Amino acid sequence: MKVALFGGSFDPFHTDHLQIIKLVKTTLPVDEIWIIPTNQNPFKTRKLSPITDRLAMINLAVNDISYVKINNIELKNNEPSTTYETVVKLKASNPNIEFYFIIGSDQLPKLDEWNNINELIKIQTFIILQRSEEVSPELLQKYQAITIPFVNNNFLASTDLRAGKNLTLQIPAINNYINEHLLYLPERLESQMDEKRYQHCLNVGQAAQELATLYDLNPQQALIAGTWHDVTKQWSLEKQEAYLLKYAPELVSEPMPTWHGYSAYYYLKHELLFNDEEILSAIKWHTVGHRSMTKLEMITFIADKISKERHYDEVEHYRELAKINLEKTFQELIIMQYQRAVDKHGLSGIGKNIIKTISKWGKS
C-alpha cells in the first residue's frame, strides 16, 4: 500500500490544499492521502487556531473523498513534531506501507535544515509540487524526490484568507464556518480599528449574546452581530462613501455618522461573504433602527448602547430595563438618540431613516 502524507497547519484548509490532494491522487499510484495537521509548525511562531476548528474545516472539505484520511499523530504531542519523528512513528505502526511526503518546491532548497534529513529520505519519498520556480535537478537527486507540476493561476495563501482576502476562491463551506465561529478576528476585525474600538466590539458581542440567551434567541447569531457591528466604524469617510456609492447610493444622503452601519453590511456581505441576512440586517440598522425591528436587531442596537465599557448617566437604567422589556428599552434608546441628534444637528440634519424609525417607535 502506498500513502502520501500531507502535513500542515491548515489554518485554514483551503482550495489549493484540496487541489493538491486530487492532483497527487490522479498523478501518482498512491492508494490514500493522509492529512496530518500540525500541533505547531516548528518554523512558525504564530499561535494556531484551536484544533477543533481546524479539524472541522478539513472535514468540511474532504469528508466525502474516500481516499483521504485525517491522521492526528502530531496532535497528540504537546511539543511541535518534526517530519522525521512523525514518519518514524508511522513506519513503526505501519511497516507494510510505502510512504511519500508532499511539499512545495519552495521547500526543496530548505530541506538541509530539516531534522535528520539524511535518515528521513531513507524511509519515505518526497513529492515536490513544482510551481513556477525552477527545480534544481541536483537537489532532486540529492533528496531522491519526484516532482509533479502544480499549475494554479489563483495561488491562495492562508495568511490572505485569514485576513479576509480572496475569499471567492475559498471553499464556501469553510468561509461559512469561519464566519459562524468568529475565527480570525485579530486579522479581520482588530486590524481595522484601534484597541478601544476593538474592545467595544467584543463587549457588544458579549452583551448581545447575553440578551439573546435571556430572550430565547440564537445566542451565536447575536454574538456575531454584536462583535462585527462596528467593523467599518474607523474607515475613512471616502472609503465608506465608495461602498455606499457602489451598493446603495441612496444612503449617501444619510448623515455620515450613520454610514458605518450600512457600509459594514455591504462589506460583510460582499467581501467576507456573510450570508446570514438576519445578522447582516442587525448590523445594518444598529445606528438608526427602522420601523419593523426584529428582536435580533433590537438586541444588537441595545447591546451597542449598554456594553460594559459604557458609563453615561442612564446606562444602568437601560441595562436593567433590557433584562425585562426589550421593546421598551429600544424605544427609550431610539428616542434618546433621536433627541440628541436633533439637538446637535437640527431636524434637517438627522437623515430620513431615523425619522422613519421615530415615527413608529417615538409614540408612547
The DSSP secondary structure of 7-48, one letter per residue, reads: EE--TT--HHHHHHHHHHHHHS--SEEEEEE-SS-TT--SPP
pLDDT digit string, tens, across residues 283-315 = 999 999 999 999 999 999 999 999 999 999 999
CA distance 12 to 15: 10
CA distance 199 to 136: 50
Judge whether residue 43 has pLDDT over 60.
Answer: no
Q: Which of 60, 52, 90 is nearest to 74 (CA)?
A: 90
Q: Please, is 142 exposed, middle or buried when counting C-beta atoms within 10 Å of its C-beta (0-12, 13-18, 19+)?
A: middle
Domains of the chain: 2-155 (3.40.50.620), 189-361 (1.10.3210.10)
CA distance 93 to 251: 64
Q: Which of 33, 3, 60, 27 is nearest to 151 (CA)?
A: 27
CB-CB contact of 259 with 248 (8 Å): no
CA distance 224 to 222: 5
Sign of CA dihedral 335, 340, 341, 342: positive
- Give the CA distances from residue 23 to residues 10, 20, 27, 148, in Å, rounded to whole numbers and listed in that order: 18, 5, 6, 8
CA distance 298 to 284: 12
Q: Give the SS3 label for residue 69.
A: strand
Q: What is the dihedral of CA 318, 321, 327, 328, to 10 degrees?
A: -80
Residues 6+ apart with CB under 8 A from 94: 3
CA distance 117 to 113: 8
pLDDT digit string, tens, across residues 232-275 = 999 999 999 999 999 999 999 999 999 999 999 999 999 999 99
**Length of the chain measured in residues:** 364
Band the pLDDT of 46: cuts 50, 70, 90.
confident
Report phi then psi at 134, rounded to 5: -70, 145
CB-CB contact of 171 with 60 (8 Å): yes
CA distance 191 to 314: 32
Average pLDDT, the chain: 94
Judge whether residue 42 has pLDDT over 60.
Answer: no
Q: Give the SS3 label for residue 134.
A: coil
pLDDT at residue 131, rounded to an integer: 79
CA distance 90 to 32: 14
Supply the pTM of this predicted model. 0.94
Judge whether residue 151 has pLDDT over 90.
Answer: no
Judge whether residue 78 has pLDDT over 80.
Answer: no
